[in-house]
Amino acid sequence: MAERDAVRLAEFNNSWYEPGRPLWIRAAWMAANRAFLLTSFPWPYAVKRAVLRAFGAKVGRGVVVKPRVTVKYPWRLRLGDDAWVGESVWIDCLASVSVGANVCLSQACMIETGNHDWSSPTFDLRLGEVTLEEGSWAAVRSLLLPGSRLARHAVLGAGSVLAGDTEEEGVYVGVPAVKVKERALRAAG
């Protein structure tokens, strides 16, 4: 039997990765994130939107950001008009995250743009953008992995894990998430 290579975490090297802002801005963001987003203090949504914008996020009108939210690098985040970011949401913006208009990120939803190559002995960092298109919904405790796209008006069910692409108006559940039906939107009123 051939000898296999072993994991060598001491050789991990992500020096190629560029966070996009100098250390002092990243440190200032960490303090602002803790004070205004990660807290349970009921800051008005307008204040939270202003703080995100001050650090480079593109934030549409009417965006709702609930308490205890974590955003890694806001300069890589886009939140469309009337998007909702629920309590305890984690948005890991190592790469770009685009959240369209009228998108709902329910409680404890996680968006991950970074992962590791588990087949590499040095556990190399991998990145992939994440997109949630207009009217989509990532339900409570769902997880979107790097490179995922939740298509227009699609639903990612509670506790589901998305690793890839979806179809418009599809409902996806499970680990990994698979399409189980079409989302039938009723007329308003």
pLDDT tier at 100, thresholds 50, 70, 90: very high
| pLDDT, tens digit, 9 for 90 and up, residues 136-185 | 999 999 999 999 999 999 999 999 999 999 999 999 999 999 999 999 88
**Domain boundaries defined on the chain:** 22-182
Instruction: Find the length of the chain.
Output: 189
Assess if CATH 2.160.10.10 describes domain 22-182. yes
Tokens of 10: 């001491």
Q: Report how far apart, in Å, the C-alpha atoms of 8 and of each of 91, 119, 125 are.
A: 28, 12, 14
Backbone angles phi, psi at 22, to 5 degrees: -65, 160
User: What local confidence, expressed as pLDDT, does residue 2 receive?
Assistant: 53
| pLDDT, tens digit, 9 for 90 and up, residues 46-74 | 999 999 999 999 999 999 999 999 999 99
- How far apart are alpha carbons 3 and 48 in whole angstroms? 54
Q: Are 79 and 47 in contact (CB under 8 A)?
A: no
- How far apart are alpha carbons 133 and 172 in whole angstroms? 15
- How far apart are alpha carbons 146 and 169 in whole angstroms? 21
Q: What is the DSSP letter of 71?
A: E
pTM here is 0.93
